Each structure stands twice: as C-alpha cells, then as structure tokens.
Structure 1
Amino acid sequence: MESLRDRTKKILFSFSLLVFLFFYIPILFVIIFSFNDSKLGTVWTGFTLEWYTSIFENSQLIGATINSLYIAIIATLISTVLGTLAALALHRYTFIGKKAVEFLFYIPVVIPDIVVAVALLAIYGILNMSLGLNTAIPGHVAITISYVMLVVLARLSSFDNALEEAASDLGANGWQTFWKVTFPLIFPGVLAGGLLAFTISLDEFVISFFTLGPGDNTLPVLVYSMVRLGVSPEVNVLSTFIIVIMVIAVLIIGLRMRKGGEAK
C-alpha cells in the first residue's frame, strides 16, 4: 500500500511539473512562432527563416532594443553597487533609524510601479527637466536596488565574520580584507542580485512609459504600441535571441561558479 510520504512526493512533483509547464510552454511557443511564415504572430502558416534576416533591417526594433540595454546596464550597475553597500551596512552595523532604513528599502518591492513612475514624473515637472532616456534610469534604479539588497542580505546571513577577523590578524587592512575575503564570498549573491536587477529593468514598462522622452522607446514600450496593430514575428525572433543569450550566460556563470567552488 502506498505510503503517505510517497503520495505527497507524487503530488508535489505533479504540482511542480504543472508550474514549470505554465512558465515554459509560452516561451516555447515564442521560439516556435519565430519561424512562422505568417505576419500574424498567432497563426501558423509554414516554416521560414525570413524574420531572422529581416530583423536586422528593422531600425525601430533594433533602436528600442539598444535603448533597453542602455538603460538596463546602467541601472544594473548603479543598483548593484548601491544595493550591495546597503546590504553590508545593514548587516554589519547597528545605528539609529536602522529599522526605518530597512523599511524604506522594502517599499519599492511592495508598491506598484505606477506610483514610482508618477512620482518621478512630478519631480521632473517641478525641476523643469526635459524627458529622455536618462530620465528613465532613476526609476529603474529605484525599483531594482531593493532586490539586489535583499539577495545580498540573504547571502550575508550565512557569512562567517571570523574569516574577516582572521584576515585582519594576518595583517590585511580593511580594503584588502574586503576584496580578498569578503567580496569573493558574497560575489554569488551580488551576481544573482545583478542578474535579477538586469532582468527587471529590461522588462520594465510602466516607469519607462511615463519617464521616456518623445520619440524614445524601449523594447517593452514598443511592443505595447504594436499590440493594437499586431505584433510582428520579428519580435518573436528578438525574444528568441534574448532567451538564448540569457540561458547561455546563466549556464556559463553557473559552470564558472561551480568550478570555483570545487577549486576551493
């Protein structure tokens, strides 16, 4: 007779399988329809590689992609540095108002993006600033820095402070201790936070929609504007490129981190 433990394992496995199918089947369809011969992204009419060549002639799509990468890279760099420093400060030190600071970092995680977007738009209006690509970056940093901080804090929760003390006893100064001991140990958390920030920024629509200047488009904003007239199969091609690149990047990073762990 089947035990309760075995039934529980089967139920959990089935549920996990359904969740993975729910997430990955749409991605699989995007890849399949990137080879669709029809200009309508939802009707399959045959196999073609036409869109994989014509995408490089679509200046609007390429320009929006470059804008998205520009904003995402800068926002990721800023949020990763500031989020890591904030995590280190909150983990190591006790100071007046620490709980309030922690609460402030949690706010961007729970409030809707449209609140941040409208607030930034109001600030830009008060300062009489003209909108452009750069005015979207602060909003992206505001919503990604908290995720970086939370991921790095999770990594620091298992950090052994005795290693830093040992480095100090052996003559290392604070700078050397950080780069030779602390940073290599928390680097997986910093990298994970950076990748999460990059993904969120690249996918961000609401803040970009409100804070971009006239004529400036990011990829999510452009795709949204195309929905009413029908999304071009070239968007599926670009999505396929992004998926493949991200999967390869994650695999390479995972293998390097695994080899580094085995070497230690």
Structure 2
Amino acid sequence: MKQFSPGWTLIRIYTILVYVFMFAPIVVVIVLAFNPKQFGIFPMEGVSLRWFVKLAQNESIIDAFKNSLVLGSLTAVISTGIGILAALAFIRFEFPGKNTLNTMLLSPIMIPEVVLGVALLLFLRFLQQPKSFVLLLIGHVVLTLPYVLLIVQARLVGIKKEYEEAAKSLGANAFETFREVTFPLLLPAILAGALFAFTISFDDITATLFWATAQNQTVPVKIFSMLRNSISPEINALGAVMIVLTVTTPLLAGYLSRKFSKIKD
C-alpha cells in the first residue's frame, strides 16, 4: 500500500498554485476580450466580438501590428542566415579566437535587455545616429541571434561529418555539399530557430522601448503606451491576439522540427 506523504502533497499543491498564478491572468485577458460591456464583469452578460472589430478599425494598432510583422520577419531571416554561417564556422572549422567569438555572439543571453537597450542607444548617440527602423532591426538581431545559433549548433553537432566528406569524395564542391547534404539535415533546426527568432522579436518590449520611434512602434510598445493613458477593452482583444500568436508560433516550431527530423531520419 502506498504511504501518504504530506511533503509531496504540499509540493503538488504549491506547484498547482504557481501554475494558477501564472496562467490565470492570461485566461482572464482572453475571456474579457469577448466581453460585450465596456467594463469587465463576472459573470459576463453574453459573448461578443465587438472589441476585435473595434481593434481591426484602429489604424494606429494596425500600423503597429504591421511593423511587428515586418520587423519579426526581417529579424528571423537575418538572424537565421547569420546563425547558420556562424554555426558552420564554429562546429566545422578551427581558427584562432573561435571560442571567444562564440562567447561574444552568445553573450546577449546573459546580459539584461535593459542594459543592451541602453548600451546600443548610447553607442548610436556617440555616433550621432538618430533612432530608426534600422536601429530597431539591428537590436532585435542582436537579441535573437544567440537563440538561433544555439539551436543550429546543437543540430549540427549531431550531423556526422562523414556525410559531407562522402559527398565531397563523389565530386561535390563545398556549396553543393551544403545544399544537398548539410542544409536538408539542418532544416528542422533552421525552421525552429527562425520561428523562435520571430516570436522573440514580435513579443519583445523591454529593449524595444529604447529603440522604437513614434513611427516604428511595435505591438507590445503600443500596448504599453495604451495602458499608460487608460485601460480600454481593446487592450484585452489585442492581448488575446498576441497570446495566440506567441503561443502557437513556438508550438509550430516544435512540430515542424519533429516532423522534418522524422522525415530525414
């Protein structure tokens, strides 16, 4: 007979309370997004898409959403491209200062975003360069590149070098070997890294507050500015959309990674 353990029972209760504390506000935001009334009340008096319709008619929010999509897409493409090349260099080649350079590229993970945001802003002030979309893009690439690099490196370590050597022995050059052998095997990690980079860029606010301009506001920055003025039910609808995007994108990344891994294996 299994003995009763008060200690494990307390741990389970504590764990459940932690999850409730973490996810209850998210559930409340999603539920209130369908509230037909101006103010949130429970129980709700029906369900309505009123605030989603009003959100779609808000031009400033739509512009911020477009900025976030463009910024996230460009960040994912640039970070993934640099991450692939850097991972190949660090895993497949030996050169002086390799470990130092690798550590430098991964260091943004260990540095608080506030410090990165202020540092890049002060550096551009020193160069007498104004804030712009390019600055925003550079900052997001710096933030997301370490994650792409780690994911691609982890996959590349598991790919045997003999596959590439066999292709070269059959007459393929370096580019053909990468295109026909290395790239297909790396594809799951590349897709996962790109989607994670997009998610991090789309969802970032801490560093983006230092880099964004009035013309280049992203959705998180727009939500923050709206909360400073007043609490509108549109924020609940916008928050629900953000939650769906930021949750489904990593799930999609994991699904595609597993699917392509099975195909290649």
Could you say which TM-score interval applies, normalised by the shorter chain? 0.7 to 0.9
Q: Confirm whether residue 102 of structure 1 aligns to residue 85 of structure 2.
A: no
Counterpart amino acid of 1:261?
Answer: K
Partner of 1:32: 31
Displacement after TM superposition at 1:233 (Å) = 2.5
Partner of 1:54: 54
Distance 2:155 2:206 in 1: 30
Question: 1:109 touches 1:143 (CA, 8 Å); kept in 2?
Answer: yes
Distance 2:107 2:84 in 1: 17
Describe how 1:89-238 pairs up with structure 2 within 5 A: 89-238=89-238
Displacement after TM superposition at 1:24 (Å) = 4.3
TM-score by length of structure 1 reads 0.84
Partner of 1:254: 255
Question: 2:196 touches 2:253 (CA, 8 Å); kept in 1?
Answer: no
Displacement after TM superposition at 1:147 (Å) = 1.0
Counterpart amino acid of 1:254?
Answer: Y
> Relative to structure 2, which stretch is displaced further, 192-201 or 23-32?
23-32
Distance 1:195 1:142 in 2: 16
SS, match of residue 150 in structure 1: helix
Distance 1:179 1:193 in 2: 18
Distance 1:192 1:259 in 2: 11
Displacement after TM superposition at 1:216 (Å) = 3.5
Partner of 1:74: 74
Describe the shift of the 1:118–1:249 C-alpha distance in structure 2 as closer, same or farther (beyond 3 A).
closer
Partner of 1:6: none
Q: Kindly report the root-mean-square deviation, in angstroms, between the aligned alpha carbons of the 2 structures.
A: 3.2
SS, match of residue 131 in structure 1: coil
- Please list the CA deviations of residues 44-80 of structure 1 after superposition, one character each: whole Å capped at 9, or x if unmatched: 6432221121111111211111111221111111111
Distance 1:62 1:237 in 2: 13
How many residue pairs are counted as aligned between the two chains? 263
- Please list the CA deviations of residues 138-189 of structure 1 after superposition, one character each: whole Å capped at 9, or x if unmatched: 1111111111101111112211111111212222221111111101111111
Distance 1:11 1:180 in 2: 55
Question: 2:32 touches 2:236 (CA, 8 Å); kept in 1?
Answer: yes
Unaligned runs of 5+ in 1: 4-8
Unaligned runs of 5+ in 2: none
TM-score by length of structure 2 reads 0.84
